[in-house]
Amino acid sequence: MTDTTLDLGPQTRVIARLAEGVREEHMAGPTPCPDYTVRAMLGHILGLTAAFRDAARKDLGGTTDTPPQAGLPELGPGWREELPKLLDELADAWRDPAAWTGMTRAGGVDLPGSVAAAVATDELVIHGWDLARATGQDYAPDPAALQTSHDFLLAAAGDPNRGAIFGPIVSVPSGASLLDRAIGLSGREPDWPRQG
């Protein structure tokens, strides 16, 4: 499902760049996730970044035990400094080959390290698109991360429990880009109108 040589750094840098482009007037605006404003999406990205950093380190506890349905972390006044630091730590943690082996935990679920890496990559790719669309920014995910996200979502397409995490699959034209196919598999409308 994943390539253990995948470097999450290029995708975490994409997220950091998008976060830099968020303006205060964006914060209360909608995102492709109906329940999330931009502020809430940033809080979610902060929380998942810390959780998957700790999952890679096998540092299990509060960050890794929190289920996805739990309340979102508050977005504190220092988030602009905190998020890039956490993203760098996340990428660095997954550069350790030991992160990809054995079992770990994320979202309160025990899973193999390689699967946790695929989930982390998918979260970064899809929520990067969410953030870009919600703030009117261009989005070019890391190609290797995008392929991993697509493959992960495609493998989960037939899982009867996928509805607990993703929305219903959205059909896309046969010639759609890999990004649009991944977005459709995640339960989002690839043509969700850009805001900003």
How far is residue 1's CA from residue 118's CA, in Å, rounded to a whole number?
7
Query: 3-class DSSP state for residue 96?
Result: coil
Place of tokens 């509805």: 163
Mean pLDDT of the chain: 91
- The reported pLDDT for the residue numbered 74 is 78
| Cβ-based neighbours of 44, under 8 Å, separated by 6 or more | 36, 72, 73, 127
Q: Containing H/E element for 20?
A: helix 9-20
Window from 84-93, 125-134, 142-151, 168-177 with minimum mean pLDDT: 168-177
Q: Are 171 and 184 in contact (CB under 8 A)?
A: yes
At 30-46, the pLDDT tens digits run: 999 988 999 999 999 99
- The reported pLDDT for the residue numbered 164 is 54
Looking from the CA of 127 toward its CB, the CA atoms found within 13 Å total 25
Whether the model pTM is above 0.75: yes
Instruction: Check pLDDT > 60 for residue 61.
Output: yes
At 148-164, the pLDDT tens digits run: 999 999 998 877 665 55
